[in-house]
Amino acid sequence: MKFGGILGFENGIILAPMGADVSGPELVAAVANAGGIGLIASPVNGYEMMVKAIKDTRKMTKKPFGAGILLEFDQEKTIKAIFDEKLACMEVYWGDFPKEMVDEAHKHGVKVIHQVGSVKAAERAIAAGVDCIIAQGVEAGGHIAGTVK
């Protein structure tokens, strides 16, 4: 059975954007080629670096993939690269992604996955119109927002 759904991927396996040295183009392409949701670990506010990572990934896969955005930092340039390169999706986490930004992503054909750590954050993400929510618990690595064990 295929996952498909609103995100349009073959299955619901998601590669977390774990840092450029881990979730780089090779691993992202491998996950995409296997039908999963490969997410590039995005640079902090780096347009050229993001475009390069996207182009390097596209050399290894024709399947859709996305990028993860750490909202704690200014990411305007990185997000612009994602929109300009028309990625399938972007995962946002460690902060809020307001309705205006979700609408902008949708205008560019980019689906929004929001990783949240609480019911309150999930409610804000739903109100903003995101396409998918990832519920994070305390077992997450790196930037932990979840409090549920």
CATH number at residue 72: 3.20.20.70
1-43 per-position pLDDT tens digit: 344 566 667 677 777 777 767 778 999 999 999 988 899 988 8
Does 96 have pLDDT greater than 90?
A: no
**Mean per-residue pLDDT, 63-75:** 91
- 94 within some domain: yes
- 104 within some domain: yes
Cα–Cα distance for residue pair 39/65, rounded to 1 Å: 6
Start-to-end CA span in the chain (Å): 30
Residue owning tokens 């946002």: 92
Cα–Cα distance for residue pair 132/106, rounded to 1 Å: 13
Domain encompassing residue 50: 14-135
Domain count for the chain, please give it.
Answer: 1
* Residue 12 pLDDT: 73
- 62 within some domain: yes
User: What is the value of pTM for the model shown?
Assistant: 0.85
Where is pLDDT greater, at 97 or 67?
67
Averaged pLDDT score across all residues of the chain: 86
- 5 within some domain: no
- 143 within some domain: no
